[in-house]
Amino acid sequence: MDKSALQIARAAYQPKVPASIKGATQLVEGKATESVADQADIKKLFPNTYGMPIVTFEKGTQALASKAINVGVILSGGQAPGGHNVISGIFDGIKAINKDSKLYGFLGGPSGLVDHKYIELTADIIDEYRNTGGFDIIGSGRTKLEEVEQFDKGIEICKKLNINAIVIIGGDDSNTNACVLAEYYLQKKCGIQVIGCPKTIDGDLKNEMIETSFGFDTATKVYSEVIGNIERDANSAKKYWHFIKLMGRSASHVTLECALQTQPNVTLIGEEVEAKKQTLDDIVTYIAQAVANRAAKGLNFGIVLVPEGLIEFIPAIKKLIAELNDMLAANQAEFDKVADDQKIDYVVKHLSKENAAIFESLPVAVSRQLALERDPHGNVQVSLIETEQLLAEMVGKKLAQWKKEGKFVGKFATQHHFFGYEGRCAAPSNFDADYCYSLGRVASLLIASGKTGYMSSVRNTTKPADQWLAGGIPITAMMNMEKRNGKMKPVIQKALVKLDGGPFKFFESKRAQWAIETAFVYPGPIQYFGPAEVADQPTKTIRLEHQ
């Protein structure tokens, strides 16, 4: 394939890895684990993989294994920068164990395992994709591995290809599926290990052992570059308020990180909205006051950052959505038969009086999206709700009212943006290139050590890569029970923004100043070459979390 100059240069980049996994390595087991919540329920569902110890890899005197191992790899869910480096790390790892080891890629996500669609990933193929963005080496998909028939189809193809282990690269749902698969294969004693790798640009798959999910670093740097460009444009034209929605349905990590990097005037953090029990009008009033304060200084421009999932964090609307999800899950067949122009009326009639009133108070476009657009889990597709435009319109109406009352003397014109896909397949930053490659190498060591039901873990990531700590965490240790499609199911617990954590506390200490001043920072594009303080720095979030 034709390549850009950057691709050619990046192909030669050698990712940095923890010193402990260079050469001979030994596995050290720690204490037994338990799930973060609902211990009895999780233990009952996962009797074979519950309670396993956290493991770490340390310098050893001999290689872990020498026999050839065949591994199948699956990319699951949305794209995130660095996926290709996880795969190249697995490839190099199993080849280092034995040159006759083979890596197979299942095509199009988990469905490739079920439908027996695969390719052997050879050195020629791997070398084309080192340090590149995207998931196009084998493609991805959102098929959920939940049925015994699917698991058995996986056994068939693994036996045919003599595959010893499967690595599932994905987010919380995908790694939950990996744990279910690991449990089933242990129960069946079929000799197939399953290892997970933590992927999501949303940043909500993390804990003590998983300091960050891969792709978050690169994506937030891409978004921050573009936000910085818009800030500079706003500061140049001095006539628009830009409302910018950012990825992050269930947590506001992306929005907080971009705020830390770019210092916009207003940043909404969903977790804070929920904690303070704010209403939609509270949020609109907060933004309008910031606009009015800057207008009083002759500054009729600014930047507002909005997390994608903001709507679901507003307590009254969250309560409405929960009832909507349950009601539609219980009445889906009947609801599907209702004519499109009657669906809103159907919803109103089947909601409690309180939630029906809230539903009817929303703009028609929003109420339709809440009722009609559902994801595969039966939940609202919040990314389709144009929250940035909704807020801009409502702020405009409030300012118009204030102007009549003599409370606002400025001008208010808006522009709207949603940054999502722009960051998902960017060429990985040096941090993500190193981190992802290390996750792949660690996955290969977990396999060679005979482990299953584990997630690859690389920690101490605020230090230089050779000081990173490598190991694995049982996936069951991260799980709790949550309602999905009207039923309680085991899932990996999402990590939300901690309002008492370092990143939010720092932001909180600065936001009043940023709201009134033009304190914009223009990060510019990702730097792949140059001094470490420019090219190799992790996110501000992870640095503030580990100060």
DSSP 376-392: TTS-B-GGGS-HHHHHH
Burial class (CB within 10 angstroms; exposed 0-12, middle 13-18, buried 19+) of 491: buried
pLDDT at 374: 66
- Residues annotated as catalytic are 202
Sign for the pseudo-dihedral over CA of 186, 190, 191, 196: negative
pLDDT at 321: 85
Output the CA–CA distances (angstroms, integers) from residue 493 to 99, 209, 476, in the order listed.
Answer: 38, 14, 10
pLDDT at 378: 61
pLDDT at 381: 72
- Where would I find the H helices in 363-429? 364-372, 387-404, 421-424
Q: Which CATH architecture has domain 64-215+428-472?
A: 3-Layer(aba) Sandwich (3.40)
What are the tokens at 419?
């940054």
pLDDT at 373: 65
pLDDT at 528: 96
What are the tokens at 94?
């199993």
Which segments within 460-542 are labelled E, that is strand?
Answer: 469-474, 479-484, 487-492
- Rounded-to-integer distance, Cα 520 and Cα 233, Å: 11
pLDDT at 150: 97
Give the phi and the psi of residue 377 in degrees, each rounded to 5: -90, 0
CATH number for domain 217-314+381-424+500-524, candidates 3.40.50.460, 1.10.10.10, 1.10.3720.10, 3.10.129.10: 3.40.50.460
Specify the domain boundaries for CATH 3.40.50.460 within the chain.
217-314+381-424+500-524
Q: Say whether pTM exceeds 0.75.
A: yes
- Rounded-to-integer distance, Cα 477 and Cα 493, Å: 10
pLDDT at 379: 66
Question: Is-contact 144 175, C-beta < 8 A?
Answer: no
Specify the domain boundaries for CATH 3.40.50.450 within the chain.
64-215+428-472
Task: Name the residue type at position 374.
Answer: R
Residues of the chain with pLDDT under 50: none
- Rounded-to-integer distance, Cα 382 and Cα 80, Å: 20
The secondary structure of 37-54 as a DSSP string is S-HHHHHHH-TTTTTPEE
Edge-to-edge strand ranges of the sheet holding 454-459? 25-32, 53-59, 469-474, 454-459, 193-198, 165-170, 70-75, 102-106, 118-120
pLDDT at 483: 84
